[in-house]
Structure 1
Amino acid sequence: MSVALVDDHPLMIEAISSLLLRSGRFDVVATGVCANDVVDICTRNTPQVIVVDLNMPGDIYTAMSAAICASPSTKVIAFTAATGVDSAIRALDSGATGYVLKGSSSRELIDAITSAHSGETYITQHFASRVIAALRDTSLRRRAAEAVKLSIREQQIVRLLLHGKTNKEIALTIRISEKTVKHYMTLLMQKLHVRNRLEVVIAAQKLDERGAAAMH
């Protein structure tokens, strides 16, 4: 199996190379020391698996995504001392198939490379439950955010609400009946999980602030 290693610590690369070569199952085809090397190696060498340290010069997460675009058959394993769940989620979102902590055993790293090559996701065992729980929470938050996406008409009504318009004034402004405005208000209460007009305005204000923050 062709494997590439990218880590800015020469001793780490030397140790992993020796480990993989001794097993007789792997061929180390390239090594690198920074984020840019990840993309270059995948473009030139198309290794079956590339093991990447996250704490290196350059934007490593963008590099992982770009490397997978350059060589879709290459599987990426993040091999890192970073024990934060956020780092793991970001690496997996960037396309990593494995996340192995540097405190793991050599057997775990080999298992991760083998699993990644087979298309299976591998996370350091004692760390996996935390990552899975966080991924579940992240998924729920994303679904909740998607549920609050408003239609164009709902956005129009929200903007007018934020300007203090009554239902009658909203109806006249966007040329629909007052009854239709009330229908949209009911939909907005359901979408925003609120109980009355005032809470719709408060929730809409928060949405508006989040949208403005995302623009900067």
Structure 2
Amino acid sequence: MITIIMAEDHQMLIDGVKSFFEYDDNINIIGTVNNGEDLVKLVSLKKPKMVITDIRMPRMDGIEATSIIKKQFPNINVLAMTMFDQPDAIKQMLDAGATGYILKNSGIKMLSKAIVAVSSGETFFDPNVAFNFMNSYIDDNITIGKTDKVVLSNREKEILHLIANGKTSKEIASDLFLAKTTIDTHRKNMIRKLNLSSGSELVKYAIDKKYQF
């Protein structure tokens, strides 16, 4: 049995996850909290097999809470479930001791896969988080989740729409008040996410999908 304590400041998300696993014979959510301080206290009291935590929470964030938990209970595995896909956020959670990182918009099936992997000692990463950063961490004991649905961020969709309208990276950067290098990075990430081979394929994809974003 995989016993879990979940920390998340949006109660609706907690209720949804609990409801999904309510009749699962292998996964048991034995406690939930809405902030990092209560997470540390409840983990000390109940000593679960693993923790699922958001990063941004009141009173104590998930990074600090993870660091404290891993120092006190190194055998408890931590899975981050968040909206942050920035490399800095990923690195801070890894440095704190998390061995899994998924995005909230990846869905409950991805969460199920992550729980099984992380609870068994593997390291699991959502396929939609910063692969360029992750490449330096990948080894034989790391699982990359697979999904049939490509998840683009709102910013990526915005840039894709501008690409479809014939805008260059320089023009997009000017329109969005961003650096050209930032737009170039978004282009590379979209090429990787969409399993394309070049910038020209990205342009073609953007035109084909122009009215879907």
TM-score by length of 1: 0.59
- Residue 117 of structure 1 deviates from its aligned partner by 0.8
- Residue 70 of structure 1 deviates from its aligned partner by 2.1
> Which is greater in Rg?
1
Query: In 2, Cα distance between the equivalents of 1:119 and 1:51?
Result: 14
Q: CA RMSD in A?
A: 1.7
Map 1:54-133 → 2, pairs under 5 A: 54-57=55-58, 58-127=60-129, 129-133=131-135
- Runs (4+) of structure 1 exceeding 3 A deviation are 133-136
Query: In 2, Cα distance between the equivalents of 1:134 and 1:80?
Result: 21
Supply the AA of the counterpart residue of 1:112. Answer: A
Equivalenced residue count is: 136
- Residue 59 of structure 1 deviates from its aligned partner by 3.5
Supply the AA of the counterpart residue of 2:9. Answer: D
Q: Deviations over 1:50-81 (max 9, x none)?
A: 10011101243121111112222211111001
Native 8 Å contact 1:4 1:47 kept in 2? yes
Supply the AA of the counterpart residue of 1:90. Answer: Q
Native 8 Å contact 1:42 1:74 kept in 2? no
Native 8 Å contact 2:86 2:130 kept in 1? no
Alignment correspondent of 1:50: 51
SS at match of 1:126: coil
Alignment correspondent of 1:29: 30
Query: In 2, Cα distance between the equivalents of 1:110 and 1:8?
Result: 20
Q: 1:22 to 1:130 in 2, by over 3 A?
A: farther
Alignment correspondent of 1:194: none
Supply the AA of the counterpart residue of 2:50. Answer: V
Supply the AA of the counterpart residue of 1:20. Answer: F
Supply the AA of the counterpart residue of 1:66. Answer: I
Percent identity, aligned pairs only, is 27
Native 8 Å contact 1:85 1:134 kept in 2? no
- Residue 6 of structure 1 deviates from its aligned partner by 0.6
Native 8 Å contact 1:77 1:97 kept in 2? yes
Query: In 2, Cα distance between the equivalents of 1:35 and 1:120?
Result: 24
Asked whether 1:20 is paired with 2:15, we answer no
Supply the AA of the counterpart residue of 2:10. Answer: H
Alignment correspondent of 2:4: 3
SS at match of 1:65: helix
Question: Any unmatched runs of 5+ in structure 2?
Answer: 139-213
Q: 1:32 to 1:115 in 2, by over 3 A?
A: same
Map 1:148-163 → 2, pairs under 5 A: none
Supply the AA of the counterpart residue of 2:53. Answer: V
Supply the AA of the counterpart residue of 1:14. Answer: D
Supply the AA of the counterpart residue of 2:79. Answer: I
Question: Any unmatched runs of 5+ in structure 1?
Answer: 137-216
More helix, by proportion: 1
Q: Deviations over 1:93-127 (max 9, x none)?
A: 10001001011121110111111111111010132
- Residue 131 of structure 1 deviates from its aligned partner by 3.1
- Residue 129 of structure 1 deviates from its aligned partner by 1.9
Native 8 Å contact 2:79 2:118 kept in 1? yes
